[in-house]
Amino acid sequence: MTMTSAEIRQSFLDFFASRGHTIVPSASLVPDDDPTLLFTNAGMNQFKNVFLGLEKRPYTRAVDTQKCMRVSGKHNDLEDVGRDTYHHTFFEMLGNWSFGDYYKKEAITWAWELLTEVWKLPRERLWATVFKDERGELETDAEAAHWWQEVTDIDSQHVLFFGRKDNFWEMGETGPCGPCSEIHFDRGPEYCDKQDVPGHVCRVNGECGRFIELWNLVFIQYNRDETGRLEPLPAKHVDTGAGFERLVSILQGVDSNYKTDLFSPIMNRIQELAGHSDAEREENIVAYRVIADHGRAITFLIGDGVLPGNEGRNYVLRMILRRAARFGRKIGFQEPFLAEIAKVVIEIMGPHFTELPARQKFILETITQEEKRFYRTLDAGLALLDEIMDELAAAGETVIPGKKAFTLWSERGFPLDLTKDVAAERGFTVDEDGYWQAMEEHRLISGAGQRFEALGESEIEVYSRLLDDLRQKGKLPPQGVLHLYDGRVDLDTEVVALLKDGRIVTKAKEGDEVEVVLASTPFYVESGGQVGDTGFIAHYHEDEGEPRWEVEVQETYQPLPGLIVHRGQVVAGTPRVGDEVWAVVDYERRLDIARNHTATHLLHSELRYVLGEHVQQAGSLVTPDRLRFDFTHSAMLTQDELDAVERSVNDAILANYPLEVVYTDYHSAVESGAIALFGEKYGERVRVVKIGAPEKPFSQELCGGTHVSRTSEIGLFRILSESSVGAGVRRIEAVTGRAAQRLAQSRLNVLDAAAAYLKCRPEEVDRKVLSLMGELQSREKEIERLQRKIAQRDFETLLTQVRDVGGVRVLAARVEATNIETLREMSDWFRNRMGSGVIVLGAVMAGKPNFVAAITPDLIQRGLHAGQLIKAVAQVVGGGGGGKPTLAQAGGRDVSRMGEALSLVPDLVARAVSSETG
C-alpha cells in the first residue's frame, strides 16, 4: 500500500512532533531581511539567525517542510530543468532541527527509525556516509560513525567515509559549520545510466543514477572565524534536509519525480489540454516536465507575493513563466494556458499550503496577465523579424546575422529557437555562432557587475552582544525590550543601555547624538509601513518641575528581534545608564499617524469593493503627513472610480465604526476572513485590527500598527494622486485629519481668490476660465491673421525691390517678423508670385539676426543652392546656416551688419550663375 505525497509529508511532521518537535510553518519563498539571498533555497534559511546566536525561538526542537527555489548557482541551472527526472526550480525540503538540544545520537536514531520502520525502506538498500578529512586537518566524525553502528541495524559495510566536498557543510566563508552524515538509497542496477561507460562501477557519491542521496544530517559544532580557524561552539545544533520530491519517488516506487502524485495530475492535465496521445506526450516529455515544474514554481512565487517584473526576483518569476509559456507554444498551445496548470498545482498543494487556495483568484489572474504580455512581445518581435528578413531578401541574403538574432532576444525577449523556426518558414537560417558570440560579449559586459553585498555584520554583532548581555544580567526579560505601544503613549521605565557612535557607553552629555535602550517603551517601532514614533525621554528628580536631563527622540528602530533602540539628541543634562525615566511619545503626531493608518485600512477595503477582489496590498507608507498605498490593479483608475473610492471611505468614516484589536492565532484569523499581507512574516500569535461591528466587521487585517478608536476620528479623507509604480501596480496617496483640513482650506482659499479675480462665484470658476481661454485663443488667431495681413502688405512693397541679376529675379530685404515661420511664408508668396527667382529675407528676432533663403526649382539646375547662399550671407553677421537647395535658414549674432549681409546676395547669385555658364 503506497502512501500519497500528502501522507508522506504528514507522517514526517507527525513523527518528529511526537518526539518533542514543534511543527513550524514553511517560511515565505521571499527571504525577509536577507539581501544576500534571492529566494529561500534551503530549510535552514529561516533559522540562520538562530544558528548565529542572534535570535532565540521559544522551542529547541523544530520540524518543517520548507518551500525552496533554486534557479541559478551551483545547485541548479534553469536550462537543465526538464532534461532529467529530478532537478526542479521549486521543491520542498523536509527538515528536523535541534537548537542546542539533542545531537548526533538522536538525529541518527530517528532518521533510521523513520526510514526503516515507518516508511519501511529495506535496510539493505540504505547507505550512510560520515566525514573524514582527506587532508587530515579536521577531526574525523567518529561520533557519528559510532552511533551508526550503535543505534541502528545498518549493515556495517554500508557506512562509508567521505571528505570535505561531500561531508563537510559550511554556510559561507565564515559562520557555523560542521560535518554531516548523508543517507543514500540504492535504487538497483537498472537505474545505472553509465553502464556503457568503460570501467564504470556504481557506488555512493558516484556518477550514475543508481545511488541517490535521500537525507542529509548536518551537525553544526564549529564556528569559522575571519582567519579561517574553527572554534567549537558552546551550543551544538542539528540541521537536516531531505528533498521531498525525491523521497516521494522512492516511496512510491517510480523512476521519476514527475511520475509521483505531486506531478502526475499536472502532467495529465497538460496532456488533456494539448489533446495529445500517450505517444505524443512521450515525444514531448521535456516540454511537459518544464511546464509542470515551472507551473509549480510560478504558482508558489505569486502566492508569496512576487509579481512578474524586470529586476531581481520579479524578473526570475517572469523568466520562469515565459519559459513555461514558450515550451507550451512548442507543443501547440496558442493562447494562455498556464492558469489551468496553476489550478491543478493549487488542488494538489493547497491542503498543506493554504496560502494558495486563499490567493487562487489573484494567482491565476496574475499568470494570465503576464502570459498575455508575453504574447504581445512575441508579436512585436515577429514584426521586427519580418522587417529584418525583408531587408536581407532585398540584398539577396538568406542568413540572419547572429548579432541581429541576439538583438531580438536582448531587446525584445524574442527567443532564438523561435527566430529559427520563423526564419525557416521563409527559407532563412540563423548564424548561431554569431548569436552565441554576441551573447558572450553581453554576458561579459553586464555580468561584470558585482554581486549582492553582505550587510555589515559587525554592527549587528554589537547589538547582538548587548542584547545577550542585558538578558544575562536580568536587565531585560528573555523576550527582550517590552514593546508597550498599544493604547498608550507614555510610561515610567529605566535606561538599560546607551550607545554613542555605535559604541556602548555609560553616560552622555548635552548635544550628543545617542541611542537609548529602555527596559520597556511606549514608542512604536517602524513596521508594516507605519513610521516610528518621536517624542521625549526625560529623567526627573522628586518634586522638581524641570527634568534633570532630556533626550529628544527622532527615530526608533529594531536592529534585532527583542532589541529596540531610540535614536535622538540629548537636549539637556547628562543621561546615565540606570536612570529612571519617563518616556513619552509625541501624542499629536501619533494621532495623525493613527488617522492615516486606519484610513489605509478603509481605503484597502473600499478599493476591493469598488475595483474587485483582485486588489492586494503591494506596499504602504503611513506617516503623520500623508499615507501612500500601493496595490495590484492592471489599469489606471478612472476619475469616477477615484471619486467612488474617496466617497466610500468618507462614508465609512461618517458611519463612525468602532475599532477592535484582538489577538488570536494565525489560522483562525485568516479563516475568519482577515486579510494577511504577502511577504510578511507572521508569528503564531497575530494581532487583528477589526473595523465595524465585531460580529460583522467592515474590514479586518492582520496589523501591528496604531489606530484610532472610532473611524470618525479620522475626520476628512482626501485622495491626492493616483499613479503607476510598475506593471500591474498602482499607487494612491491621500491625506486625512489635520492635513486634509489644511489642504481643503488652502485649496478653497485659492478658489475664492480666483473667483474674486474673475469676478464670478467660486462654482463658476471652471466655466469662466474655459470661456476666457476660448476668448484668448480667438484673439491670438485674430492677431495672427492681422500680422499676416501686414506682412502681405509689406510684401507688396518689397516686390518693387526685385532686381534682375543675369536673368534671375533676385530679392534680398530686411523685414519685420517675429518668427521664422513668417519669413518662410513670405518666401512662399514670392515663389508663387514670381514662378522663378531667388529670395533672401532677414529679420531680427530676440535680438539676433535670422535669415530665410528660397530658390525656385528651375534655378537649382543653374547652380544655385539656397543652403550655400545663406551660409555666405550668415558669415557676415558671425553665424552659420544651411538647408536644402530650395529652402534654407540661418542665424547670426551681429545685428548691425545685417544690411551688409543682405547686400551681398546679388553678387553671390551672379557669381553662381556665371560659374555655371562659364
List the interface residues with RNA, window 715-754 (CB under 7 A): 724-727
Residue 339-378 contact track with RNA, rule CB under 7 A, x = bound: ----------------------------------xx--x-
- CB of 139 or CB of 825, closer to RNA: 825
Say which residue the cell 523561435 belongs to.
418
- CB of 513 or CB of 828, closer to RNA: 828
Q: Using the rule CB under 7 A, which residue among 52, 504, 887, 904 binds RNA?
A: 887
Cα gap 325→290, rounded to integer Å: 10
Q: Using the rule CB under 7 A, which residue among 2, 36, 310, 745 binds RNA?
A: 310
Q: Is 824 in the site for RNA (CB under 7 A)?
A: yes
Q: Is 309 in the site for RNA (CB under 7 A)?
A: yes
Q: Using the rule CB under 7 A, which residue among 461, 828, 858, 916 binds RNA?
A: 828
Q: Is 403 in the site for RNA (CB under 7 A)?
A: no
Q: Is 883 in the site for RNA (CB under 7 A)?
A: yes
Q: Is 882 in the site for RNA (CB under 7 A)?
A: yes
Residue 673-712 contact track with RNA, rule CB under 7 A, x = bound: ----------------------------------------
Q: Using the rule CB under 7 A, which residue among 35, 189, 578, 880 binds RNA?
A: 880
Contacts of 129 (CB under 8 A, 6+ apart): 159, 160, 161, 162, 166, 167, 181, 182, 184, 204, 205
- CB of 127 or CB of 374, closer to RNA: 374
Q: Considering the complex, what minimum distance in angstroms separates the CB of residue 871 from RNA?
A: 7
Q: Is 76 in the site for RNA (CB under 7 A)?
A: no
Q: Please state whether beta strands 880-883 and 887-891 pair in parallel, antiparallel, or not at all (unpaired).
A: antiparallel
One-character DSSP codes across 799-842: GGG-EEETTEEEEEEE---SSHHHHHHHHHHHHHHHSS-EEEEE
- CB of 837 or CB of 883, closer to RNA: 883
- CB of 283 or CB of 411, closer to RNA: 411
Q: Is 315 in the site for RNA (CB under 7 A)?
A: yes
The stretch among 114-122, 240-248, 523-531, 877-885 that binds RNA (CB under 7 A) is 877-885
Cα gap 892→898, rounded to integer Å: 9
Q: Using the rule CB under 7 A, which residue among 83, 201, 893, 907 binds RNA?
A: 893
List the interface residues with RNA, window 413-432 (CB under 7 A): 413
- CB of 316 or CB of 627, closer to RNA: 316
- CB of 806 or CB of 891, closer to RNA: 891
Q: Which residues of 668-696 are buried (b: 16+ CB within 10 A; e: fewer)?
A: ebbeeebbbbbebebeeebbbbbbbeeee
- CB of 45 or CB of 889, closer to RNA: 889
In contact, 75 and 86? CB cutoff 8 Å: no
Cα gap 915→141, rounded to integer Å: 102
Cα gap 564→577, rounded to integer Å: 15
Contacts of 432 (CB under 8 A, 6+ apart): 402, 405, 416
Residue 371-400 contact track with RNA, rule CB under 7 A, x = bound: --xx--x--x--------------------
The 8-class DSSP code of residue 496 comes to E
Cα gap 662→532, rounded to integer Å: 22
Q: Pseudo-torsion of CA 375, 380, 384, 385, nearest 10°?
A: 10
Q: Considering the complex, what minimum distance in angstroms separates the CB of residue 409 from RNA?
A: 5
- CB of 178 or CB of 728, closer to RNA: 728
- CB of 651 or CB of 900, closer to RNA: 900
Give the number of other Cβ atoms within 10 Å of residue 896's Cβ. 8
CA angle, residues 36, 42, 48, in degrees to nearest 5: 60
Cα gap 105→533, rounded to integer Å: 50
Contacts of 359 (CB under 8 A, 6+ apart): 302, 303, 616
- CB of 656 or CB of 777, closer to RNA: 777
Q: Please state whether beta strands 211-224 and 126-131 pair in parallel, antiparallel, or not at all (unpaired).
A: unpaired
Q: Using the rule CB under 7 A, which residue among 11, 72, 205, 268 binds RNA?
A: 72
Q: Is 891 in the site for RNA (CB under 7 A)?
A: yes
- CB of 446 or CB of 472, closer to RNA: 446
Query: In this structure, what C-alpha cell is assigned to residue 874?
Result: 550668415
Distance of alpha carbon 361 from its chain centroid, rounded?
21
Q: Using the rule CB under 7 A, which residue among 407, 527, 558, 741 binds RNA?
A: 407
Q: Considering the complex, what minimum distance in angstroms separates the CB of residue 401 from RNA?
A: 15
Query: In this structure, what C-alpha cell is assigned to residue 89?
Result: 526550480
Q: Is 875 in the site for RNA (CB under 7 A)?
A: no
Per DSSP (E only), the strands in 481-576 are: 482-483, 490-500, 503-505, 513-518, 520-521, 535-539, 549-560, 563-572
Query: In this structure, what C-alpha cell is assigned to residue 94?
Result: 523536509
Q: Is 892 in the site for RNA (CB under 7 A)?
A: yes
Using a CB cutoff of 8 Å and minimum separation of 24, what contacts does 793-800 make? 795/826, 795/829, 795/830, 798/826, 799/830, 799/833
- CB of 550 or CB of 630, closer to RNA: 630
Nearest to 679 by CA among 316, 304, 299: 304
Taking the CA of residue 756 as centre, how many other CA atoms within 13 Å lie in the half-sphere pointing to its CB?
6
- CB of 279 or CB of 444, closer to RNA: 444
Q: 131 phi and psi, to 5 degrees?
A: -80, 130
- CB of 201 or CB of 783, closer to RNA: 783
Q: Is 411 in the site for RNA (CB under 7 A)?
A: yes
The stretch among 234-242, 404-412, 552-560, 685-693 that binds RNA (CB under 7 A) is 404-412
Q: Is 409 in the site for RNA (CB under 7 A)?
A: yes
User: Which residues are bridge partners to 178 per DSSP?
Assistant: 169
- CB of 493 or CB of 850, closer to RNA: 850
- CB of 447 or CB of 673, closer to RNA: 447
| Amino acid letter, 616 | Q
Q: Is 322 in the site for RNA (CB under 7 A)?
A: yes
Number of residues located near RNA, criterion CB under 7 A: 57
The stretch among 147-155, 532-540, 585-593, 821-829 that binds RNA (CB under 7 A) is 821-829
Distances in Å between the alpha carbon of 389 and those of 404, 408, 422, 891?
10, 13, 10, 44
- CB of 560 or CB of 725, closer to RNA: 725
Q: Considering the complex, what minimum distance in angstroms separates the CB of residue 451 from RNA?
A: 5
Cα gap 696→866, rounded to integer Å: 82
Q: Considering the complex, what minimum distance in angstroms separates the CB of residue 443 from RNA?
A: 4
List the interface residues with RNA, window 844-873 (CB under 7 A): 848, 850, 867
Per DSSP (E only), the strands in 626-674 are: 627-632, 659-665
List the interface residues with RNA, window 429-488 (CB under 7 A): 439, 442-443, 445-451
Q: Using the rule CB under 7 A, which residue among 888, 898, 905, 909 binds RNA?
A: 888
User: Which residues are bridge partners to 890 per DSSP?
Assistant: 851, 881
Q: Using the rule CB under 7 A, which residue among 791, 879, 898, 913 binds RNA?
A: 879
The stretch among 202-210, 331-339, 566-574, 876-884 that binds RNA (CB under 7 A) is 876-884
List the interface residues with RNA, window 257-286 (CB under 7 A): none
In contact, 593 and 624? CB cutoff 8 Å: yes
Which helix (H) or strand (E) element contains residue 789?
helix 765-798
Cα gap 37→20, rounded to integer Å: 31
Q: Considering the complex, what minimum distance in angstroms separates the CB of residue 528 from RNA?
A: 23
List contacts with RNA (CB under 7 A). Answer: 72, 309-312, 315-316, 318-319, 322, 373-374, 377, 380, 407, 409-413, 439, 442-443, 445-451, 724-727, 777, 821, 824-825, 828, 848, 850, 867, 874, 879-884, 886-893
